[in-house]
Amino acid sequence: MQKKEYGQICDYIIKISPYIRFVGVIDKNGKLLAYNRREGLKPLLDTKNTLYQFSHIAIKSELESYFDEQLGETEFAWEERKKVQTISFALGKTRVWVSIDKKVIRSEILRIADACLPIVKRYS
CA distances (Å), origin 96, targets 70, 91, 105: 23, 7, 21
Residue 63 confidence class, pLDDT cut points 50, 70, 90? confident
CA distances (Å), origin 106, targets 33, 102, 116: 28, 10, 15
Look at 108 and 64; give whichever has higher pLDDT: 108
Question: How high is the pLDDT of residue 121?
Answer: 94
Could you give the angle at the alpha carbon of 39 between the alpha carbons of 33 and 42, nearest 5°?
Answer: 85
Task: Please check whether the domain covering 3-123 is classified as CATH 3.30.450.30.
Answer: yes
Look at 13 and 3; give whichever has higher pLDDT: 13
Question: How high is the pLDDT of residue 46?
Answer: 86
* pLDDT(92) > 90: no
